[in-house]
Structure 1
Amino acid sequence: MTYDFFDVSVVRHEALTPAAVRVTFAGDTLGGFVSGGRDQRCKLFFPAPGQSEAIVPRSEQWYPRWRALDPSVRGIMRTYTVSAARPDSFDVDFALHPGGGPAIQWASQVSVGDRLLVLGPTVADNGGVDFQPPADTEWVLLAGDDSAVPALDAIRSWVGSSLPVYSWIASAPQRCAPGTVHCPGGLVAPLRDAALPSGTPYAFIAGESGEVRALRRHLVRERGFDRRRVRFTGYWRRGATEDDLIEESAAA
């Protein structure tokens, strides 16, 4: 199996900013949890209201069986980036938006010892990693909002000094890495005004779906990027929950 379920518990939590918290999970079976680094995704399952633990069928066919459960009873699934992984633990960063959903409510009240169910990778080469620069890449463009900060930070760490990296982030200044362009009003206008280097680029953009699509159009149509060299991911969509997006995907 490329993915498996892991029972984990909170062993540490720390405030990164007034609006972001890092939670460290550990578990006896995490030796089988293998992150591919970069923007590695995993699924977190939170208990439904009135439940003490997330109810999820643990099998290879878990998704259709989970969808078939009563939505008021089944575990609440959310997708998050693995900020960092170690042999016996891993970190997830939560942005604490006012009025947030179940995951944000959980993270805002998290305590050491709290338990969760995680669906995570068991091999490094897995479908939960989108950042895949071709061998001929000469420089990297990264752009994202607050929801993408963990992925962008992990990508920068993975790239290291092997390639020049240029970053634009619409997030709190405290969460912007050195050399990053802070874009409090959104990403499209600052990128449109930016002087980009020559050479063969590879772009990774993530965040709110509408802004991500607009930025991709700018890079491809106005900047002449090869569309195959622009990896874009909508982590969320204004006015929709992840549950809404799951239902839309299933209907399609």
Structure 2
Amino acid sequence: MSIAETLVQNLRHLAQRTGLARASSYRLFDIELKQRIPLSPSLARFVFTGPEVARMCTMAPDQRVKLLFPSADGLPPQLPHEGDWLKTRRALEAEHRPPMRTYTIRALRREALEVDVDFVLHGETGPASTWATHARPGDRLQMVAPDGEFPGTPGGYEWRPPEGIRHVLLIGDETALPAIAGILEELAIWPDRPNAQAFIEVPHETDRLELRCAPEAQVNWLPRDSGGWRHGQGMIRAAKELATLPEARQQPGKPQKIKEVDIDTQILWDLARPADNGFYAWVAGESAAVMAIRRHWVGELGMDRRALSFMGYWRLGRALD
């Protein structure tokens, strides 16, 4: 058990003994921006703080949270902690309803009351990116994150490789970069490290980051500007041409019938349920690209879908609230 998991377990035991356990695995946290750290032309790390961050928890490198941003009237989110915050938000008029977007916890330091979230910067193209473009220390948001006092597993993460996994394949775009970076950091401290390959599509050549990973890990950057690609084309090329796939399934076998997902109205979320520890793939990013990879691997190559996780983090041209 990791140090983070041990701390979370201790918090849960304390909650059960003191009667503080909540019915919900996630809760609302008031946070404010403490520091803004540029990472690359397209990426920045935002360090948030708040007294209740000590109560927050994270269970995996791809732990998802919701951030609530200032509403159209310019006011920071102020949803009440009591009662059903989601119902309260839905009842607000559009002008006063805080926009909500999904992000990944990059790092959590409970003792220091700090939680890091990495943002993709793409100008004033939506409420989240607009806020990130102009945000300064002291600006306030709200975050919906796992409650460390919840006695069960909070969920909200999909990195769940089988014990003793031997080959890990990670494919994603810039929105999946925080999770991939965290996964590589975790793999680097495993006593029996698997063979790990990562393919990361980013907007620019200058968006390459120095990631902490095992020396033998293969980290491949796929910049769209130098490749002349549209969104997702680097990811698809990695899946079809560059990644090392299980040898027994390299040649097209028995194509499997897969259920198509209408990615314009539904979220593509197809999770692995590994039957063995030979191979495990984690794919996340723009939904059309993830769908194309899913269709190729499962529908055309006949790969074992139980070893594959496909997550449409976002859809080009649409906002998923």
TM-score higher than 0.5: yes
User: Could you tell me which residue of structure 2 aligns to residue 215 of structure 1?
Assistant: 293
2:237 to 145, 165, 189: 189
The alignment covers a number of residue pairs equal to: 243
The CA distance in 1 between the partners of 2:245 and 2:73, in whole Å, is: 54
Query: Given the two structures, how large is their TM-score scaled by the length of structure 1?
Result: 0.88
- Deviation of 1:2 after TM superposition, in Å, equals 1.1
Q: TM-score, normalised by structure 2?
A: 0.70
Higher RCO (CA 8 Å, separation ≥ 6 residues): 1
| Structure 1 residues 154-188: Cα deviation after superposition (integer angstroms, max 9, x where no partner) | 11112224322111111144335473222233211
Counterpart selection for 2:142 from 117, 121, 125: 117
C-alpha distance in 1 between matches for 2:83 and 2:166: 39
User: Pick from 19, 23, 39: which aligns with 2:62?
Assistant: 39
Amino acid at match of 1:167: A
Aligned 8 A contact 1:47 1:54 in 2: yes
Contact 2:172-2:284 at 8 Å conserved across structures? yes
What is the distance in 1 between the residues matched to 2:242 and 2:92? 49
User: How far apart are residue 59 of structure 1 and its match?
Assistant: 4.2
**More displaced, 172-181 or 17-26?**
172-181
In the TM superposition, residue 64 of structure 1 has moved relative to its aligned partner by 3.2
Deviation string for 1:14-39 (max 9, x for gaps)?
Answer: 11112211100011111100111310
Residues 29, 98 of structure 1: CA spacing in aligned structure 2 closer, same or farther, 3 A cutoff? closer
| RMSD over aligned Cα atoms | 2.1
Q: Does 1:142 align with 2:170?
A: yes
- Overall identity of the aligned pairs, in %: 35
CA shift, 1:231, in A, is 1.2
The residue type equivalent to 1:207 in the other structure is: G
The question of whether the paired residues in 1 share the 8 Å contact of 2:107 and 2:116 is answered with yes
Instruction: Name the SS of the counterpart of 2:96 in structure 1.
Output: coil
Matched, 1:3 2:26: yes
How far did 1:242 drift? Answer: 2.1
Structure 2 stretches of 5 or more lacking a match? 1-23, 248-277
- Counterparts of 1:206 and 1:140, CA distance in 2: 14
Cα distance in 1 between the residues matched to 2:154 and 2:132: 27
Contact 1:42 1:119 in 2 (8 A): yes
Structure 1 distance, partners of 2:164, 2:200, is 25
Deviation at 1:57, TM superposition (A): 4.4
Per-residue CA deviation, residues 124-167 of structure 1 (Å, 9 max, x unaligned), is 93221111112253211100011111111111112224322111
SS at match of 1:25: strand
Task: State the shift of 1:99 in Å.
Answer: 4.0
Distance 1:73 1:158 in 2: 40
Q: Is the 8 A contact 2:123 2:133 kept in 1?
A: no
Residue number in structure 2 paired with 1:24: 47
- Per the alignment, residue 69 of structure 1 pairs with 92
Structure 1 segments unaligned to the other structure (5+ residues): 244-252
Q: Which amino acid aligns with 1:242?
A: L
Whole-Å separation in 2 of the counterparts to 1:222 and 1:92: 37
Cα distance in structure 1, aligned partners of 2:169 and 2:303: 11
**For 2:282, what is the secondary structure of its paired residue?**
strand
More strand by share: 1
| 1:80 maps onto 2:103 in alignment | yes
* Contact preservation (8 Å) 2:280, 2:307: yes
Instruction: Give the match for residue 252 of structure 2.
Output: none
* 1:93 counterpart residue number: 118
